[in-house]
A and B are shown apart, each in its own frame.
Chain A
Amino acid sequence: MTFHITIDGRPVPVTPGQSIGAALHAAGVRSWRSTRFGGRPRGLFCGIGVCFDCLVSVNGRTPERACLAEAAPGDEVTTA
């Protein structure tokens, strides 16, 4: 049933159909990005693709919104 993705090499369990952002949040990883100027921690805020706070890189691609990206088995998520 559940599968795993990794965030910076650490495994995170995923229930099929979950977004990457939801899987991280559920695993207790509530921030995965630092802001450019203040270095402030950021994770999910709007949860529906509006705020862009939850940007991650998946499998080396350019940043995308974790709340919109559906997790796939083996996805390697890296944070900035």
Chain B
Amino acid sequence: MTYDLVVIGGGPAGVAGALTAAQAGLRVALVDASVRLGGQYFRHSADPRPAPGLGRFLRQARALDRRADVRLRHQVWNVTREPGGGLTVHATAPDRTAVPLAARRVLIATGAYDRPLPFPGWDLPGVLTAGGAQALLKGDGVLAGRRIVVGGTGPFLLPVASGLAGAGARVLGVFEANGGLGLARHPLLALGKAGEAAGYAAALARHRVPYRTRQAVVAAHGEREVEAVTVARLDKEWNVLATRVVECDTVAVGYGFVPQIELGVQLGCRTRQDVDGSPVLAVDAGQRTSVPGVWAAGEPTGVGGWRLSEVEGRIAGLTIAAESRAAGSRAPESRALEGRTDESRTDESRTDESRDAEGRDREGRDGEVAGVLARRRERWRAFGEALQHAYPVRPGWQGWLRDDTLVCRCEEVPLARVREARDLGATDARSIKLLARPGMGWCQGRICGYAVSCLAGEPPQPPRRPIAQPVTLGALAELTDDDPTTPPLT
């Protein structure tokens, strides 16, 4: 069976895209590695606590469950183009068997992950990414620690810190490497998100959590796990001005996000550099990538948060549905749904002109997408870009490293070996990787890639990973059409 659309990723972009297309009558599958839909931002436990936007997301997820083939706990490791022009999404099931899904169109909605920066001791147990600490709390109901230091840059540190404090951890401080203005002048306020920023500020104040700008965790100390950190006061470029030691049992750090684009790169999709230098998938007004049949939405097209992701997902769903209709590829039995209005539509308000039943055909065309949804997308895109401008990574972090600081955690490559490679003439991240092996281990450079690029003095390059997730040889063997039991004809 061939799906009209296979969506990869079950966060706000993927769910909105899948639901929009399914509501238009397409036969849709959505694949996600997690046990529940939600992605990172809407990660939740079986019995979720209320959170901004979560109720709305869960309504969409339930509606999707009724209308599409939702495959959780499935990891996508590759997407291939078939000789006939169709696409195959290669996933592995929880029991590691191969699950190939034939698709006319694919939507890449694979989200992003925390961008860590290396520092001495960052590989000690108890040092987690900010998103990791958040995932433990939201998905598993587990506090990452008792005495927690939160550090890095960007507005994401605020919900992480207030979440941890609210759940009973002692948060010893939020150390924001950028800024210099404090919470009262936080860019969230300037961007019209006063309510949200004030909410976090109030939560931090209530739990007496200090918020310090131009400060950072520059080293973690401990034998078997973290016991203390060095917190530094920084200048504008993040060079260390002064330090002090803070005792703690846990550190949550994050310096922005890395969009997850390798499936698009595998397919040959054109990339562009985002404001912060990250390679992202280039898309047109309808969220199409440069490769026919392949759409992208959410963080892989540029980090901007869940609202932007959702609106991009909806636009992708609409243009996919319109093209599918034009190509006459809708599943016949789905036509019964046509024209029907539905309480579980992806929209929050019923007054929006773009989403009444009559408007459905019109909004499917790019001209209409350029209306309400496109304006909303522009607004949130501008917001995302403003945040990237406000919270850059400054070069001074390289001075926090010592010769023996691991840059690559998987292959245990210290800074000294990266420097050696550079001295031998490696002037780009790829040459450094070939000489010193950072990025050649299990994570394939997802964690150290950004740092290695900075150390090489170049912007991060699009990831070249022929296989996006570990896969068994058995699953690979199933890729071939040849039947191994048939003897060769010669």
Interface, chain A (partner B; CB < 8 A)? 15-19, 22-23, 25-26, 30-31, 35-38, 40-53, 55, 67-68, 70
Contacts and interface: CB of A to CB of B under 8 A. Distances in A.
Interface in B162-206: none
Given A45-B127, A52-B441, 19 more contacts: A15-B140, A17-B45, A25-B136, A36-B412, A38-B412, A41-B224, A42-B123, A44-B128, A45-B128, A45-B129, A45-B447, A46-B114, A46-B131, A47-B129, A48-B40, A48-B113, A48-B131, A68-B34, A70-B73
B126 A15 contact: no
B133 interface: yes
Contacts of B126: 30, 43
B225 A30 contact: yes
B412 A22 contact: no
B5 interface: no
Nearest to B226: A30
Given A31-B125, A45-B132, A18 B141 contact: yes
A22 B114 contact: no
Q: Which 5 A-B pairs have the closest CB atoms?
A: A47-B132, A22-B140, A52-B442, A31-B125, A43-B125
Interface of B: 33-35, 40, 45-46, 73, 113-114, 116, 123-129, 131-133, 135-136, 139-144, 224-225, 409-410, 412, 441-443, 446-447
A26 B133 CA distance: 12
Question: Which of A19, A25, A40, A68 has the most CB atoms of chain B within a 10 A radius of its CB?
Answer: A25
A12 to B, nearest CB: 12
A14 to B, nearest CB: 10
Contacts of A23: 140, 142
Question: Which of B124, B132, B139, B442 has the most CB atoms of chain A within a 10 A radius of its CB?
Answer: B132
Contact of B35 (A41, A44, A70): A70
B319 to A, nearest CB: 29
B46 A17 contact: yes
A22 B125 contact: no
Contacts of B441: 52
Given A17-B140, A22-B139, A47 B409 contact: no
Contact of B447 (A16, A26, A51): A51
B125 A35 contact: no
A50 B40 CA distance: 12
A49 to B, nearest CB: 6
Contacts of B133: 47
17 contacts: A15-B140, A16-B46, A22-B139, A25-B142, A40-B123, A41-B224, A42-B123, A45-B129, A45-B409, A45-B447, A46-B132, A47-B129, A47-B133, A48-B132, A50-B114, A50-B447, A51-B442
Question: Which of A22, A35, A36, A50 has the most CB atoms of chain B within a 10 A radius of its CB?
Answer: A50
Nearest to B73: A70
Nearest to B46: A17
A17 to B, nearest CB: 5
A54 B128 CA distance: 11
A51 B443 contact: yes
